[in-house]
Each structure stands twice: as C-alpha cells, then as structure tokens.
Amino acid sequence: MRQPSVISRRVAAATAVLVVAAGAAACGPKDNKGGDGSSGAAGKPQKGGTLTVLNSKPQEDFDPARLYTSGGGNVPSLVFRTLTTRNREDGAAGAKVVPDLATDLGTPSKNATVWTYTLKDGLKYEDGTAITSADIKYGIERSFAAELSGGAPYLRDWLIGGADYQGPYKDKKGLDSIETPDAKTIVFHLDKPEGEFPFLATQTQTTPVPRAKDNGTKYEEHPISSGPYKVVKNEGDGERLILERNPHWSASTDEERKAYPDRIDVRSGLDSAVINQRLSASQGADAAAVTTDTNLGPAELAKVTGDKKLAARVGTGHFGYTNYIAFNPKVKPFDDPKVRQAISYAVDRSSVVNAAGGSSLAEPATTFLPDQAAFGHTPYDHFPAGKNGNATKAKELLKEAGHPKGLTVTLTHSNDKDFATSPEIATALQEALKKAGITVKLQGLESNDYSDTVYNLKSEPGFFLGGWGADWPSGGPFFAPIFDGRQIVKSGYNFNSGQLNDAAVNKEIDEINKLTDLDAAAKRWGALDKKVGEQALTVPLFHPVYKRLYGESVKNVVISDWTGVLDISQVAVK
C-alpha cells in the first residue's frame, strides 16, 4: 500500500473536510509569486488537445447536490456553473469570490439576511435550453433530500426552514425561503445575517438542475452541464470520466473558465505512486496530464528535489488548513489551563514538521487561522515553544499546576498514514513531551473509529490530534465551527472540541457575520483568533503545503490560495 493520498473517500473527510472535493490546493510557489502569475511549459496557451487528469479518488457522486466542494471544485467546476465562483488567479488574488452565473456577488439586504441574485443573459444548458432561476432553486432543494446527502451544512443552517426541509421528493411544495420572482432572479431568505453568503454561493449546490431531467440518485451518471464541458462518458461510478466541449457554453458569459483543451479525460482509482510515477515520466498522453488530488509524498519529494528538470514541473500550493492538538477541557487534567499551556510550550514543531514530511510539505503554525490574508491572519505566539520546544517553561507550569513529578496522559490519533493525524506526528509529540516530564500514551484508532470517537461529545478524548480546513477562504467557516458555542453538536459530529461557549466570542462571531465588507470581516476574525488563542484550547502545529507534479506540455498553471491546486479550467496543453 502506497502512501495514501490526502484524500480517501468521503469518510476521511471529517478531518480534511474541504480537501475532499476541491482537491487540495496548490498556489504558485510562494517565492515565485511576483511573476506573470502562471507557470508551466513556455509558449502561449492555445485551444485544443486532450488534458488527462490522473487521480486516485474517483469522481463518484458526480451530482451537484452531493458534492462537498470548496469554491465549486476542480473537475466539477468544468461542468457545473454556480451563482458565484472563485477568482481563477494565482496566489492571494485567487482567494477572492467573483460572479459566475449571477451578474454580481449578490445584493444583500441591510442586515445581510436577504440576498438577491440576477442571472446573466444567454445562459444555456448543454441541450440548448435556457437556465432559469427556478432550476437553481430546484438544485438547492435537491440537496436537502436524504438520498442525495453529502454536501456542506450551510444551506441547511442558514436558510429559513432549512433545518426541517426534506427535499423536493418528499416535500413537493418546495422551500419557501428561496424565491424566484422571475426566471432571472433568485432571492434567499436567511434566518440570521450572513455576510459571507457569496462564498457559499460558489458551492455546486447552486448549480441549476432542470427538474425534468432529474432522475434522483442516477442523475450523477449524466448531470446536465451548464459549464464549458459536458459528460460524454462516466464509467465505474466516476472512475473514468470523459468530458468534451459543451457547444452551448459561451465564453462571453463566463469570464473565469478558459477551457483550452477540447477534451478532458479523468482517470481515477489510480494508486498515488502510479500517478506520481507517470507524471514524472511524462510519457505519451501523460505529458499533457495533471492531477487534482494527489500530492507528492515526502519520499517522492526527496526524489524530485534531486532532479532539476522534475523540480521545475512541481507546483506548490497553500490551502487554508491547520493541523493542531485539540484539548477537551471537560477531561482532567486538561481542565487546567496551565496544563494546556505547558503542553503548548513543550511541543517540538520541527520534529512534528519532519514527521509531516519536512519543511517543504509543512509549515510550523502558532495561529489557528491559516497564514493567509483572506482568513485575516494575525500573527501571534502566546506560548513560544521555539523550534524544539521549551521544556523548562513547560515543567515550571506543570509544577504550578500541581504536577511537580510530571504527568501521564493519553494522546488519541488516527492510524491512517496521512502525515496529519497519523502515528508519526503523535510519536513526535510523545518524544517532545517526554522532555517536559509528560509521559504520553498513544491511542491509535482506525480512521472511522477515530472520527466517531473524537468528534462526538460523548466519547471525545481529552487530548487528540485534529485538523481543520476551510470551506472557503475566510474566517467564518474556519473559525466558527471550532469555537462558536452554539455549534456544539450534542448528537452527531461536533467540531467545537474545546467546547468553548463564551458569550463574548459568540457575540463577536455574530457581529462579524453581519459584515458584508469581507476585508473588514477578515481583520476581525484575525483579532478574534488571537484572543481565543490565549485560552490554549488548541495547540496549532503546522499548515500543510501541497506539492504537485504536472506533465511536460502543461501550460498556464494557475494555483490559487483558495484551492491550492492547479486549476484545470485554466490549463492548456497546446
């Protein structure tokens, strides 16, 4: 078994929520950002040719209702247009939200509880019929059906009546909080202010679905395209997906997707080692190949680093993701902030970074929010541990906390070899804490068991490894689920592991959500993160960095900070 890719089906998603469908991100190498914003083979990108996508995870559930994407995903975004979408540009510029089907980012009501969108003119499906706002409403309603579960929770949480709605199959009447006064206008009524609604509108659930063509769970076999490509072949539940140009798509209505290749051949179910081997060999069709879901592992990176030619074909991406230690303050001795602080001081981030694949694949983190302006990153290091941990300070704190002889604690982690919550990271921490007099016992759980255990209030351990990724590049979906007291889930998956229910924090979250000025909001998220960080409810460890190989003739490589991965809507192979 090769090193598993970061993604392993829906299941692993609990920890890597967004990585799942978006495919992890890769923005242009940081040191390389100033240039023309794109890299890849030289020459002006031209239309034509076949782009091969080599993936490990099949595009199963290729249904806009079921996909859980960040910004509409990579392959899905070729077929599904959404109300808004991500800005297809390199680096930080790519973390912005831009209109897609809609003419703008939406018009909020004064308190940001009502959002109104108007569709562009001349929008058509692959069969030439016009796209209407009713189809978008229907598409959203479908995502409430139990048969088509899988998407993000926000629509359910935000739309009035969303929590009880069962989808159009059981509830023919539809969802009243979405109005379509005419074929071009769609209005959303939210039960609380949400300034980040334009971000949510990038998700595939806002893709139009013609009711007449809906055939339930079978829709995924041939979803009706609104984007530049349509599905001509879908074998083995998304293992082989062939996309060809959608003649009814018009570049004039779509500023974002370049759609250079004529044909896109997505082959999945491949072993990650095979993918990287093929990309590095870059033979035949593989010269025009990319991957949207497979990173270079440490061993492969080590090999690539030694080869200049190969190294030139590596894209580096950053994606809003943080790996951290989570505490459950309801469990002794983690109820004592001093103990949590002691551990914060004791961690050896260079060992942890090494265990995560080395400094090229992980950057040490001291803040919970990812190191990106879009998230409002505000630097802080409340419990400076230095490179290798501050055992002395940790011991002092432990003494103060009444543990002069040290402590024995159990660290829960996953048994997956994912370089994130894996045994290697846990062992690195075990070693570091040993120096501070803390004996760590390891409790490794199989991945399902792990998710069920740590994200469940009833079984949540006191001390475990977690990770959190952004549904979109903003503090809202990154910060709130972890620290909003009202998002503590009693039954079902709970991500507020620190079980923080602080009125002040909750209030500030509400205040920020009211802001429709996203830059202003970002600053306040950053300040809030710094504030909450003082409580030492988590110990941020590192932010992963994604390295991806691509084929020799791949041109116009654009890697945004939103997805961190080269955007195949921009790639050219001619």
Partner 1 sequence: MSQVLPAEGAGAVEAPAPGAHPFWRRLRARRSALVAAAIVALLVLAALAAPLLAGIEGQDPTTYHPDLVDSASGGVPIGSFGGISAEHWLGVEPLTGRDLFARIVYGARVSLGVALGATLLQVIIGVGIGLAAGLGNRFVDQALSRITDVVVALPVMVTALGALAVVPTSFPRPVLIAVIIGLVGWSGTSKIVRAQTLSLKSRDHVAAARLSGWGSWQIARRELLPALAAPVITYAVLLFPSNIVVEAALSFLGVGIKPPTPSWGQMLSDADTWYQAAPTYLLIPALLLFVTVLALTVLGEGVRTALDPRAESRLRIGTGRKKEADA
Partner 2 sequence: MKWFLLRRLGGALFVLLALSVVVYAAFYVAPGNVAQIACGPRCSPAQVAQVSEQLHLGDPLYTQYWHFLQGLFAGRDYSTGTGVLHCQAPCLGLSYQSDQQVTELILAKLPATASLAVGAFVLWMLLGVGTGLLSVWRRGRLTERVLTWITLAGMATPVFVIGLLLIIVLVTALQILPFPDYVPLTEDPEQWAWNLLLPWISLALVSAAPYARMTRASMMETLAEDHVRTFRAYGVGERALVGRHALRGALAPVIALGALDIGSMFGGAVLTESLFGIPGVGRELVDAVKHVDLPVVVGLVLVTGFFVVLANAVADILQAMADRRVVLA
Q: Tell me which of 72, 151, 223, 498 binds partner 2, using CB under 8 A.
A: 151
How far the first Cα of the chain sits from its last, in Å, is 35
Q: What is the phi/psi pair of residue 131, to 5°? A: -85, 130
Q: Tell me which of 274, 311, 312, 504 binds partner 2, using CB under 8 A.
A: 274
Q: How far is the CB of 406 from partner 1 (least distance, A)?
A: 17
Residue 296 Cα distances to 6, 280, 289, 363, 517, angstroms: 10, 11, 15, 16, 37
Q: How far is the CB of 1 from partner 2 (least distance, A)?
A: 4
Neighbouring C-alpha atoms within 13 Å toward the C-beta of 467: 28
Q: Which is nearer to partner 1, 129 or 443 (CB)?
A: 443
Q: What is the total count of residues that contact partner 1 (CB under 8 A)?
A: 41
449: contact with partner 1 by CB under 8 A: yes
Distance, in Å, from the CA atom of 325 to the CA atom of 334, rounded to the nearest integer, reads 12
Site for partner 2 in 59-118 (CB under 8 A): 60-61, 68
Q: Tell me which of 1, 42, 146, 503 binds partner 1, using CB under 8 A.
A: 1
Structure tokens at 295: 């990173």
**Sequence-separated (6 or more) residues with CB below 8 Å from residue 212:** none
Q: Which is nearer to partner 1, 415 or 501 (CB)?
A: 415
351 binds, among partner 2, partner 1, none (CB under 5 to 8 A by kind): partner 1
- The DSSP bridge pattern shows strands 289-290 and 50-54 to be parallel
504 binds, among partner 2, partner 1, none (CB under 5 to 8 A by kind): none
Q: Are 553 and 572 in contact (CB under 8 A)?
A: no
Q: Which is nearer to partner 1, 4 or 195 (CB)?
A: 4
Q: Which range of residues in 105-113, 116-124, 189-197, 208-216 is near partner 2 by CB under 8 A?
A: 208-216
Q: How far is the CB of 130 from partner 2 (least distance, A)?
A: 22
Q: Which amino acid, residue 268?
A: S
37: contact with partner 1 by CB under 8 A: no
274 binds, among partner 1, partner 2, none (CB under 5 to 8 A by kind): partner 2
- Determine the 3-state secondary structure of 61 from DSSP: coil
Q: Which range of residues in 22-30, 102-110, 138-146, 402-410 is near partner 2 by CB under 8 A?
A: 138-146
Q: Which amino acid, residue 120?
A: K
Q: Which range of residues in 79-87, 348-356, 486-494, 520-528 is near partner 2 by CB under 8 A?
A: 486-494
Q: Which is nearer to partner 2, 35 or 216 (CB)?
A: 216
The pattern of x and - marking residues 292 through 331 that bind partner 2 according to CB under 8 A reads ----------------------------------------
Q: Are 434 and 440 in contact (CB under 8 A)?
A: yes
The pattern of x and - marking residues 235 through 274 that bind partner 1 according to CB under 8 A reads --------------------------------------x-
Structure tokens at 321: 């993701």
Q: Which range of residues in 13-21, 131-139, 201-209, 431-439 is near partner 2 by CB under 8 A?
A: 13-21
Q: Tell me which of 8, 185, 305, 501 binds partner 1, using CB under 8 A.
A: 305
Q: What is the total count of residues that contact partner 2 (CB under 8 A)?
A: 60
Q: Tell me which of 361, 397, 539, 549 binds partner 1, using CB under 8 A.
A: 361
- H, E, C per residue of 530-553: HHHHCCCCEEEEEEEEEEEECCCC
Q: How far is the CB of 333 from partner 2 (least distance, A)?
A: 26
Structure tokens at 130: 């016009």
Q: Are 68 and 150 in contact (CB under 8 A)?
A: yes
**Sequence-separated (6 or more) residues with CB below 8 Å from residue 309:** none
Neighbouring C-alpha atoms within 13 Å toward the C-beta of 540: 31
Q: Which has the closest alpha carbon to 104: 186, 182, 160, 179?
A: 186
Q: Are 233 and 241 in contact (CB under 8 A)?
A: yes
273: contact with partner 2 by CB under 8 A: yes
435: contact with partner 2 by CB under 8 A: no
Site for partner 1 in 149-208 (CB under 8 A): none
Q: Which has the closest alpha carbon to 540: 354, 349, 279, 272?
A: 349
Q: How far is the CB of 162 from partner 2 (least distance, A)?
A: 10
Q: Which amino acid, residue 334?
A: F
Instruction: Give yes or no for a cis peptide into 333 (omega within 30° of 0).
Output: yes
Q: How far is the CB of 531 from partner 2 (least distance, A)?
A: 26
Q: What is the phi/psi pair of residue 425, to 5°? A: -65, -45
Distance, in Å, from the CA atom of 115 to the CA atom of 199, rounded to the nearest integer, reads 12
- The DSSP bridge pattern shows strands 84-86 and 97-99 to be antiparallel
- Site residues (vs partner 2, CB under 8 A): 1-2, 8-11, 13-14, 17, 58, 60-61, 68, 142, 145-153, 156-157, 163-164, 166-167, 169, 214-218, 236-237, 239, 269-274, 277-278, 281, 446-449, 451-453, 455, 489-493
- Site residues (vs partner 1, CB under 8 A): 1-3, 273, 296-303, 305-306, 348, 350-351, 353-355, 357-361, 388, 415, 417, 423-424, 427-428, 430-432, 442-446, 449
